[in-house]
Chain A
Amino acid sequence: MDFETVIGLEVHLQLNTATKIFCGCRNDFGLEANTCVCPVCLGLPGSLPVLNRQVLFSGMKVGLALNCAINTFVKFDRKNYYYPDLPKGYQISQFDFPIAKNGFLPVITGGQERRIGITRAHLEEDAGKLIHDDRTNATLVDYNRTGTPLVEIVSEPDMRSAQEAYDYLTALKLTLQYLNVSDCDMEKGSLRCDANVSIRPRGESKLGTKTELKNMNSFSAIRRAIDHEVASQARTILSGKPVVQQTLLWNEEKGMTIPMRSKEQAHDYRYFPEPDLVPFTLTEEQIDAVRRALPELPYARLRRLIGQYGISEYDGTILVGDKLAADFFETAAAMKVDIKKLCNWMNGPLMKELNDRRCRIPGLKLTPQDLVALINRVEDGTISNLAAKDVLSDIVETGKDPNIVIREKGLAQVSDDAQLETIVDEVIRENPQVVEQIRSGKASAAGFLVGLAMKKMHGKANPKILNTAIQRRIANV
């Protein structure tokens, strides 16, 4: 039987506000346990939450960037459940009036452009962190994370493969990074993702029974977990059994899932309006002001770069994938430089320098001006491509002017005609058989002589000029 996979994703994003969503405690990662807690985020009796204005505006930014409609009436609700990570016994979330709904994100996947629907984005508070302690055989709780502002972004079940889910997440993360509302770091837990997965016979319009996958800590783990779950559901159905609706925890080391205990799955949240917070109304003017203040988003920028500079979608995708790299490119592209060459240098040798150093553009001392100068020294024949890569490795560290490095290292190609002619004479004299081959029409043999001449000149020659000189000499002798 041929199955179709159906995937919907829920992404939790921690906002990078200075303080928590409902209290003035510091919103920071990696601080000593329970040092940013107060009566509000500990849920002590008599304390009252007050919404952080910045959180509502960041939520609006996320919603608008995902092409959502922003609700002009926004309220909060209690989601009730008992667990030690939740000191109040409920999580303040949004139920029927989320900040944003009905949007989409354009995603390039499988060489095609697809719009993945966004059902909704809502604001809520994060829970605390539980640690199992072997020595005391107890659970230890750190409430620093409690009350961290979150946006939960729920997609439509629009993805049809694990790779599409991966591409959606990549595009989503990039969009969120451009908004500068979160550091989007999965390792720190500031971006987390659960996947709802089901399969159905191809052509069937009814959705199959879904399972929810949790506990994936990277985009590739999400891709692996989905692939694993799709295969497992197919085996279940083919053996004549029904898929059981349940929550599964992904174990990355073992490459398998384990069901959550049914007790933990029995959720009946009994949502009701949060009486401790008043509702919020947003005007169209406020929403428009946030919309106008949005930065150019990655997808729009990709389309513009392709149109404006004539670069390929492939090159553009790499550039736009790092906002600062794209900024660097555009600054350089405004100077006198061959755009295609600039693109190749950025996505080739410069990318290699970045990867070698595990850093991003601001970690290098390279300026767009110097990269352009270096590219132009190759174009005007001053140095070879190889030597230029050497210069690049130098100037990204030192921030020196490439022209100075070329001079200091003596990398400039010899353009002294007399010296060049002497070397050409030498190789022609020393290799009569090769010369004979060239004369009898084997043009490619000239490359061998160019190589020999290059060696004699310690690489400091322009191969094109050498080749011309050798051909001319052979024709004239």
Chain B
Amino acid sequence: MATDTGRLTAAAVRIHGLTRSYGERVILDALDLEIPAGEFVALLGQSGSGKSTLLRALAGLDYDVAGTGRVEVPEQVSVVFQDARLLPWQRVLDNVILGLDGAEAKGRASLAEVGLGGRERAWPNELSGGEQQRVALARSLVREPRLLLADEPFGALDALTRLKMHALLRRLYEQHRPAVLLVTHDVDEAIALADRILVLTHGRIAAEQRLDGGRTHSEIRSELLRALGVRGETR
């Protein structure tokens, strides 16, 4: 993706001096981050390091949290949660076009894109976990986001389904080109999907890796693991 960077002019995300705390505990500490338009960024970090807190700040879902700093995001932001979060009383298609008037055709096209054409009239309860998460992807893409935020969207899926979802997400990303911030705790998932990988430690971006072909995946992998504080060689 290195060749792309030249024509990425506008930034999709600009964060400056973002601080968030719960009570006495400072979770994000004057964090700076910029994501160019159309870049796929993965965010790694130990459990409790504040990944979700950062994502919620970007999604504008943290109005009840104390903090300072400046956050700039595009007009169109979509969020994919760890659970598919489909309204159980709305059929699949209605879930996809929730809040969009007269977008049925787009909704159908979006469902077909995630391989669920023909399931428009199903209830969410009738779908498998992976299928539900694909509906959630369709719901976020039909809004043509310039920024896609995803908080461990595949965390609840089995390994095989997860691999399929990686391929799907990457394909959809290449077609629609939103900027993506994917939170994950899985180093391999980050390497498989992202152009750039960030590690969040002590409330700041402490390490950064670019997958621009300079180094092998296993080198990147062990550096990321070191940044995450995992000692020794794994696997």
Q: Do A and B come from one complex?
A: no
